[in-house]
Chains A and B, each alone.
Chain A
Amino acid sequence: GAVVSQHPSWVICKSGTSVKIECRSLDFQATTMFWYRQFPKQSLMLMATSNEGSKATYEQGVEKDKFLINHASLTLSTLTVTSAHPEDSSFYICSAPGQREEQFFGPGTRLTVL
């Protein structure tokens, strides 16, 4: 099946710094990718839809200036958490759609903000 990678798999940063997370589709092209956020033992909450060549679409309540999304190519989307704070600590997961409604998920990135 199709593979989606994320980098880094985990990151620890100081409060106030910015962190970039990459999501790549390794063997297929994705004009759309999705970014989710997951708190411990909770569900995945859709943050935004990343669109290649255009602006991302953010879900209600998600700060677009804080969570910058760039879909630079047909295989790469990046999520930058700007001026990170401890409450931004979470597990961030991306996905890319395949055929027949299926989604392929990355392995996730654990962000810890000190």
Chain B
Amino acid sequence: AQSVAQPEDQVNVAEGNPLTVKCTYSVSGNPYLFWYVQYPNRGLQFLLKYITGDNLVKGSYGFEAEFNKSQTSFHLKKPSALVSDSALYFCAVSGTALIFGKGTTLSVSS
């Protein structure tokens, strides 16, 4: 069965500092991996995806993620965090539908 794990319930970072939100995956075959962000009482917004190709994927709002096959990871990163980045972040893997991790709350302090 395909699954993703987000080991951190919450990540706290100061504005201007780099941020990392961790995700590891377990799939059979080639993984299709995604990051989504959710603001309170809102739907999900797509950030980026890895299907194939370059291991470093650049996405929306300055976010990027690195696909690491040997470590089965797909961590989300941003060089300089903004207070407005504070939200709930989900890593997901594609099966028939998307299978989501439990989510990580990112809190960026000013």
Contacts and interface: CB of A to CB of B under 8 A. Distances in A.
Interface string A2-28: 000010000000000000000000000
Would you call the interface of chain A mostly helix, strand, loop, or mixed?
strand
Contact of B101 (A43, A46, A110): A43
A41 B46 contact: no
A101 B100 CA distance: 14
A100 B100 CA distance: 18
Interface string B86-110: 0010100010111111110100000
Contacts, number: 53
A20 to B, nearest CB: 19
Interface residues of A, number: 22
A95 B44 CA distance: 10
Nearest to A109: B43
Contacts of A41: 88, 103, 105
Nearest to A46: B97
B43 A108 contact: yes
Interface of A: 1, 6, 34, 41-44, 46, 49, 91, 93, 95, 100-108, 110
Interface of B: 32, 34, 36, 41-44, 46, 49, 51, 88, 90, 94, 96-103, 105
